[in-house]
Every structure is written in C-alpha cells, then in structure tokens.
Structure 1
Amino acid sequence: MTAVRDMVSKVAHDLRDDIDNVARRNAQAISLQVPELHAARLEEILLISCRANTIVVLDALIAGVPPESVELSAEALGHIRTLVVYGIALDVVSRAYRVGAYDTMERWSKAVTDRFATDAKAVPTATYGTRFVLTWMDRVLAQMAHEFKAEDERITRERALRQLADVRLLLSSDPANLTSIEARLGYRLAGKHQAVVLRRTGVAVDLAHAARALFTGPTPLQIPFDDSTLWCWGSGPVRDAEVPGVWVGVGRVRPGLDGFRASHAEATEALRVAELNPAGAVALIENVAVTALCVVDPHRALEFVTGALGPLMATTDAAQRQRDTLQAFLEVGGNSRQAGTRLGLHHNTVRYRLTQIEELLERPISPQRLELELALRLFDDLGIATHAPHA
C-alpha cells in the first residue's frame, strides 16, 4: 500500500507541475459539454474554478489526505455565489462539476500510464486516484448544493427588500426615478392596476400561488410585506373566488401611479373586512366599501349591529326569514307589495312579518330604515350570526 501511495504522490506531482494545461483542458471539456456556461460568457470564472479545485485535489493526493476531508476551494465557493447572481441553475453547475471530475479521472489515468506503464502497481494507482475523485465529487456536490441554496435565498431576500423599499416609495411619494424603479420591479406603472392584498389565516398556504390563481392576466407584481402578507398588483380583472386559508382584499382597477396607490389602499380596506371571517375570505372593495368604513373598530361595529337588530340576529330559520323580509322591504323603498313580489309571497304575509319584526324590535321600522339596512349589510358581511344568540 505504501508503494501505491508513493506512486499516487508522484503522479499528482506531475499533474501539479502542469496545472495550467490541466486546468485549461478541464475547463474546455466543461465548456463543450455544458453550453449554458459558454453562452453566459463565464469562461474566465470556469477556468479559475477548475484550476483552484484541481489544485485542492492534487495537493490532497500528494499529502495523502482522505477525500472525505477535502472541501471546495475558497475560489470555487465564491464563483458559485457569482453563478447564482448570473441566474445559472443548480443542475447546470452540478453537471459542470461532474464533467470536470470525469475529465480529471481521464487525465489521472493517462498520467499513471505515462509514468508507470510497466509497473504492476499502475492499476491500483489509477484506481486509487479515480475513487478519490469520485468520493470528492460526491462530497463537494452536496456542499455546493448547500451553498447554492443559501446564496439563492440571500439574493431572493435582498431583492424582496429592495422591491419592498421601491414600492413603499411609490406609495408615499412621486419619485423622479420611475423608469429605474419600473426596471427593478419588472412592472409598468403607466397602465391600469388592480391591487390585491393576501394574508394567511395561520395555515400553511403558498401566497404567491394563490395570487397567481386570482389574477386572470399576466403574472402580477408580488411584494412580500412580511412572513404572512403579500402585496400584489396586476392589470386585472381579479377572480371573485374562494382561497382557503387566506384573507384577500381586492381594490378597484385604476390607472397610473395614482391608481397604483388608490387600488392598494382599497385592497387594504377590503382586507380588514375579509379578516373578520376566521376561515378566510375574498373581499372586493366594491362589495364591502360601506362595511370597510364601518369596521375600523370591529367591536363598535358589532355593538351597532346588535343594537339595531337585537332578536333578529338569532340563527333560527324564523329569524332568517324575518331578516330576508326586512331586507327586501328596505331595498324596494318600503313597499310591501313589491317586497312580496321579490320574495314570492303575498303582500299580507309580508305585512304580517313586518309587524312581527316591529314587535321584536319594540319600535317601528320606518324611522330607522338607514340604520336597519346598514345593520343587515354588516350582519351579512361580517358573519355576525356566529355571535348571535340562539332563539
């Protein structure tokens, strides 16, 4: 075994003395078989990485260091971070490392043959170097994947923070560098905008996927505000669809930078209404504008509805019929015949129910039409029946 190690060290010295040619041939092999790197004009980085990694491997072979102890060179680690910035995918880099490792093994076998062609220990010497490189490759591929992921996550976080800063600036002022902000965001501000704000209810939901499902047009601008909230803008229209586990507020479609801001403000208002449903809900501002105005203080809103509807808040079928009757009566301007037509009831039945309602409320309906209509609207939008007493 000592003789094999001596031979391994001598072959590694031979290759080490010719490191510039070895590294250049290694880089050429990778460039030919991994054209993505050639297309990105990364030949210089590739050559430096090949040289640094080859030196690490050969020095370990010379010193008798086991492959399990050999890690990526500092230069290679730095270049991996650069490749992430250039948008080179992990599978491309992994493929390049494999091609480089196989080329190194071929060079190793040739060097063993050139120096020890007639020696009986030539085969075990070639085998030792080949196994060394394979073991090293498996180790560094795992290390590289870890570094690649860490760098990708760091860049993603930094990009998200820069984009959030740009959007905050757009929402609060009229920046002079709109063109550069548009370029960083990848989003045009001159067109029409419909803003959406999504927030998790607490369950594990991919907010970005939920946002893409809501917008019917191109992929929207998505800005993570925090771990549970996502701000979005798109050209609209947004689907009025259920998104389980998510509260969604939707603004109106509005033009220009002012519309970008106004629609976001509306989406934030609508979100406040959606958040009153524990299971998640989608609230469009055109449907809940009045409710959003009234629930700046949800506790006060509940007190208002309770004071206005009282016994009509019960979750019984009878209370539901009374609320439906009162709603129809108010929507047609207080005409019991028209309310009956809308409900499919005789007008006398409507009058009888209205009398029952006035008895339950202990006051006439007419003087408090606006109050009752608003209370019914809030009752429906806020799901207040879940708080209501059972009759």
Structure 2
Amino acid sequence: MTSAFVRLPAGADLGSALVGQPGDLCQCPHRGYIQKGRVASSTRAVDEVYEAGPAFYWAPGHTPHALEDAEYAEFLPTGEFNALIDHFKAQAGRDRSGGVQHCSDAQEAWPPTVTARVRGVELSENRSEALTAWAQDFGKMASQDALVDSFTERVDAVITKQIPEIANDPILVQDLHRSTRAEWREFVESLREDHRLVRPGQGADLARSLARRGLDLGILLKVYRVSQQSVFQFLTEIIDGASEDAPARDEILVFLWGLGGQWMADAVESLIETYYEERRRLRDDAAVRRAETIEALLGDAPPSADDATRLLDHPLSHWQTAYVVWAPEAGSSTTEAMLDIANAVAQALGASRSLTMVAGSRDLWCWVATPHEPDLAQLAGLASALQHAGMQAAIGRPDPGIQGFRTSHAEARAAESLALKAAHGRALVRFDEEELLILVSAQETLMRRMVAREVGPLCGADKNLALLRETVLAYLTTLSIEATAEQLFVHKNTVRYRIARAEELLGHPLSQRSTQVELALRWVSLFGAPSDAI
C-alpha cells in the first residue's frame, strides 16, 4: 500500500498523461479524502465531483481533474501505483513541456503542475504504542451491536439502492445483511496484531446464492464496488470523532484505510473464487440443465410445454402449485432438510414428488403438478413440521399449464417477501389467504393507520385480546361458528362468547366492515400491533 499527498492547481487535468492506458483512463484504484478544493473524477459513463470532507473511492477507469486549487490524501495499492508511475515516466520522456513539480521525497515523473509527496505504508507492522492502544479501544467499541447494526444498515442501503437484482429479492437482502455484518465483525477482529483474517461463511453464502440464481459475477463485484466509498466514509467519520489524546489523524487514516482496503480486496478475491466454484459445480451437475429450463419457463420466451415437460420430467399441462421453502441459516444439511419439506408438501397435495431448484444457499423453489386442482387446506398440518425443522414455506395459488407455473411461482415469492418482513415469523404463508395484505403492504403508514382505526380496541399484549383476535380472524375466514370451533379446538359457545366480546369492543357487529377487520387482523398476526393502536 502506498500513500500520497497531492496538490493540483485549478484546471489541472491528468487526461493527457493517461493516454496509452486502457481506454486512456487510470487503471489504479484510489481511496482518499479531499482536504481542500474540488476534484472531478470522470469515467466513460459519468462525471462525479468530490469536495473537501467526505471520503472518495475512484475505481479503475477514471480521469481526475481539478475544478479549483485542490489538495487530497490518498492510498493506493503499490503494484498498480508503480505501474502508473512507470507510465508517467514514459509519457514524461515523450513530452517534457512544463517539467514536474515535486517535494523532496516525491517519485519522479508526475505530470506537469502536479505536486506529490509519496511514501510506502506498512499496514500491520511497526505500530506505535499509541496506535496499538487506540486500535484495541476502537475494536471494543466497533464490535458493539449498535455500531455493527449502524454500519450494516448504512452500507447495505447504498448497495440495495444501486443493485435492484438484490433489492428485489428478500432472501438476497437477508444474505447481504448477514454478509456485511459478519465481514465487519471480522474486520474489527483483524485490528488485533495477533489476529489472522478468516473469511466469514456468510459472505460465501451470498456468493453462492448469486451463482445459483444465475446472476452474473458483475453483480457480486458491484456489491463491493458501490460499497467502498460508504465503507471508507464510515471509517473517516470514526476517525474524525477520535479523542484529542488519540494518535495523529493521518496515522489512524493510513492504518484503518490500509487495513480496510486489504480487507475488501481479500474479500473480493475469496468470493470470486467461491462464486466460480459454485458455477463449476452447477455446470458439472444435471441440476444445471433443470435450472436453465426453469429459468426459461419463468423468462420472457418460455419453451413449449412438450419440450419443457420432457426436459424436466414434470407434466406442465397439469395444475401447477408453486412454493418456496427457506431456512434462517445456511448449513451443511440445509439443502437436504429443505428437500424433505418440499416432498412433504407434495405428498400433502396428492403428488408423489415435486420439481425443485436450489435457488440460493438457504432457499428452494418448488412446483407440484396434479391432474386436478389441489386443496391447499391439506397443508395446514405442515406448520408443525416446518416449525420443528426450523423452516418456513410460502405457497402460491394453483393454476393450470405453463401460465400457472409462472403465476403461482410469482405469488409464492410475493408471499415469501411478506413473511420475511413480518415481526412474527409464521411457518406457513399462503398467497390466497394473504393476497390483499400483500397488495397493500407497500403502504405501511396507511396500513398501520387502518389497523389502529379498525381493530385498535383488540390490540394489546393481554393474552385474552390475543384469543379474541385469533377467534375473530378464524371466524371471518370460515364464516362458520362450527368450523371456527373445530379449527381452534374449543367449544362453539366459547366462539360465540369471544365474537360477542369482540363486537362489544369494536362497537359494531362483524358483519359490518368485515373485509377491513379481517385485513387488519392479518396484519397484526404477522407484524404485531402498531404502537398507536395499543
């Protein structure tokens, strides 16, 4: 790692010095912070302006130029930096107009008008006693849950904003959160001089999920590219808040940024290897052919039903019921456990087996084909099996043919997304039961307001209120005293008493505004009561 302090006069443009580099752009990554002035970094796609204060990251493929007199400190990988200097020297040999300004310890051959002070940086050796003590104190502070959560939320917000392929997939979002949280904890541990950096398994889970979903490696690389500036800005703010008795700011910057750069570089290298290992495993497995056919069926140009039926050994002319099975954590036996649940669902719906696709490190996409429309009520008994296995499942509505294969899957994914947002994780979620809630769940503020208005008197931690909510919801679903009693394993008179008590608290019979009441109670069963409804 090399550090440099650079001064640029207004109007200085390094573009001419970069002619001959790939694309005539700088191929060396820069991490740093502007101390004075404004600097623009231009790529083929966009110009970004950086001002004094925030940290910056310039990925390979850029050209810097000063919009006004500017000074900045930066940290660069030594190998790429030396290659850049060699190129500058070659350029200087061809064009000597203007000469090179430099301080006493500058590397020669910087372009005209650029002043640079350059030195190598040892990242883990020769720490001062003061820096060692500061690093230990920082490590204790940075490993606290509140700061870990703050870091994770901040970095992941940047990633999901720029990468819709992750933002629109709730399982990938969860994998991202776990990966970021685990990587940060490992980075904090690396501040100890005797610690050997070990890549956490959660990062590998994210790489495997991206590979199994057929997403391009560029998505994984973009995760780290777009997060870099956010990470270094976070570190800079921590450094700016250091106490007066802390080591010099530049000393901490060199230490933290250097270690952070190495940490992220190692992470990228390791996860690229994990990604390609998973892709090779898929290519060598018959499952890849099944996955490609399924992806085609879900895509814009699905194959014919006959061809897909033959390739998948799955009768696409039958009724199709799609479902998703997922686990809270990835482990060595997770896939086998998910397959057991998938088979249990198939048997409950009257099929001998299911069509499955391992979609990530801890989620499984499944379809069951039946000659007649299956009865989803037969799945009620699976909730206890799912809870025992520590799994969850989301079920789409049955529909026939390829169209049913597609729509039922989309509905299962929508039900999965709802379940993953819920405060109370229900083991089994059916789209047909939660369709209205899924459609309105994006309007959270309005939904909470409706819950408080419609069922506020039934909300609260009191267990008797919980029994009233459960009974009213079951009754509004079945519209039968007898069926509600059977479902809840209570006497019919108990059901009648609870309904009467609920109507008394609500101030109107359940025959009025029944749709709104049912929707509000479904919301409470998944997300809990809003604070203003208690």
Normalized against structure 1, the TM-score is what? 0.47
Task: Look at both structures and tell me which one has the larger radius of gyration over its CA atoms.
Answer: 1
Relative contact order, CA 8 A, sep 6+: which one is greater?
1
Normalized against structure 2, the TM-score is what? 0.36
